[in-house]
Amino acid sequence: MQITLKVWRQSDANSPGDFVSYPVDNVTEDMSFFEVIDMLNDELVLRGEEPIAFDHDCREGICGTCGIFIDGRAHGPLQGVTSCQVHMRSFTDGQEIVVEPWRARAFPVIKDLAVDRTAFDRIMASGGYISVNTGSSVDANATPISKHDADEAFDAAACIGCGACVASCKNASAMLFVGAKVSQYALLPQGQPESKERVLNMVATMDDEGFGSCTNTGACESECPKEISLEHIARMNREFIKASLG
């Protein structure tokens, strides 16, 4: 099959950008979307042109590094998958596919499709640590945790920090990301000693980084590749109110 990639090209955050169209031949339906970009980049290098910069690492949907808009949707046309898990069987022969970076003030463009998401790292760092005993492992039943709480904490911890929630939100809010990170500790006994400081610090850092407010449209949950629930935003709000009241 033959497709056309209409790719956003931008040298850095302070330079203007524009779309450039690239026809790509010999695409098979079993190729991943990133393999097609790799193939295009090989052609660009052979022609002496600048290859397209994009973020990627594991290509297994677990690292959160990848993150692009594909035809106007974060991570592409499929539900519950990352950009690197999208395959060309989701597209048709002759189709033009528009490829863009995340667009948010807190995620400045580094180059082309690659954006700076270190704001997430600073939010995580502001959450601090948890107080646990180190040394030899304890018995599995030493700290009883209900099945419901364990499952909820595990679901929250599934967040890979890709930033799709921010990119798909009309306000560029990071509430789903922060809610998931607060939730995974708020549900477990190990996270209780620093719970107040954690939520207050993470929310303050989120605001300082320039993320917008949540208006509960649900776009974040809809586009999240790990399908993180809005319930974690509600839990974070409850934790924040409790911590604010002392």
Q: What is the pLDDT of residues 94-121, one digit of tens each?
A: 999 999 999 999 999 999 999 999 999 9
Q: What is the pLDDT of residues 54-101, one digit of tens each?
A: 999 999 999 999 999 999 999 999 999 999 999 999 999 999 999 999
Superfamily per CATH, domain 3-111: Beta-grasp domain (3.10.20.30)
Q: What is the pLDDT of residues 14-26, one digit of tens each?
A: 999 999 999 999 9
Q: What pLDDT is stored for residue 200 in this prediction?
A: 98
> Cα–Cα distance between 8 and 91 in angstroms, integer?
19
Closest CA to 183 of 160, 163, 159: 159
Domain positions in the chain: 3-111, 118-244
Does the pLDDT at position 133 exceed 80? no
Q: What pLDDT is stored for residue 130 in this prediction?
A: 85
Q: What is the pLDDT of residues 212-239, one digit of tens each?
A: 999 999 999 999 999 999 999 999 999 9
Question: Cβ contacts of residue 112 below 8 Å, gap of 6+?
Answer: 7, 8, 9, 10, 52, 53, 54, 101
Does the pLDDT at position 13 exceed 80? yes
- Cβ 7 vs Cβ 52: under 8 Å: yes
Average pLDDT, the chain: 95
Does the pLDDT at position 125 exceed 80? yes
Q: What pLDDT is stored for residue 29 in this prediction?
A: 96
Considering the segment(s) 118-244 as one domain, its CATH architecture is: Orthogonal Bundle (1.10)
For residues 12, 13, 18, 24, the Cα torsion angle rounded to the nearest 10 degrees is: 50
Q: What is the pLDDT of residues 166-175, one digit of tens each?
A: 999 999 999 9
Q: What pLDDT is stored for residue 144 in this prediction?
A: 86
**Residue 113 buriedness (CB in 10 A; 0-12 / 13-18 / 19+):** buried
